[in-house]
């Protein structure tokens, strides 16, 4: 008996579809939600809430740390991440 062809669920992701995260390092990251959490699994909605994003187009600044990187990777298709600018007075 032959195997069934792969379904859409199991096909490999095409490279370059999600924007890459900035390189890991010290400093802050600006996270902007660019797509809605409506219709997404509950775990993705909870991750957005844990990041501090309450609605579409919300923006937060978080310190770069490994636990944050894990959350960003889970919802990378819903957000855009850029390095935060340093404050001029500091």
User: Is 18 inside a domain boundary?
Assistant: no
Enclosing domain of residue 45 = 40-90
CATH number at 49 reads 3.30.1390
User: Is 11 inside a domain boundary?
Assistant: no
Task: Give the model confidence (pLDDT) of 8-51 as tens digits.
Answer: 665 555 655 677 778 787 789 999 999 999 999 999 999 999 99
Per-residue confidence (pLDDT) for residue 62, from 0 to 100: 95
CB-based contacts of 84, cutoff 8 Å, min separation 6: 27, 28, 29, 30, 61
Q: Give whole-number Cα distances, 34 to 4, 12, 55, 86, in Å.
A: 36, 24, 9, 23
User: Is 25 inside a domain boundary?
Assistant: no
> Cβ distance 59 to 32 under 8 Å?
yes
Sheet containing strand 28-33, strands side by side: 59-63, 28-33, 79-83
User: Is 86 inside a domain boundary?
Assistant: yes
DSSP state of 27: S
Share of the chain above pLDDT 70, in %: 78
User: Is 46 inside a domain boundary?
Assistant: yes
């Amino acid at each position: 008996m032959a195997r069934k062809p792969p379904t859409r669920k199991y096909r490999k992701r095409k490279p370059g579809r999600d924007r890459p995260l900035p390189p890991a390092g010290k400093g802050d990251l600006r996270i902007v939600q660019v797509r809605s959490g409506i219709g997404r699994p509950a775990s993705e909605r909870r991750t957005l809430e844990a990041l501090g994003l309450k609605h579409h187009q919300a923006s937060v600044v978080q310190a770069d740390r490994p636990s944050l990187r894990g959350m960003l990777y889970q919802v990378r298709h819903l957000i855009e991440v850029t390095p935060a600018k340093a404050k001029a007075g500091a």
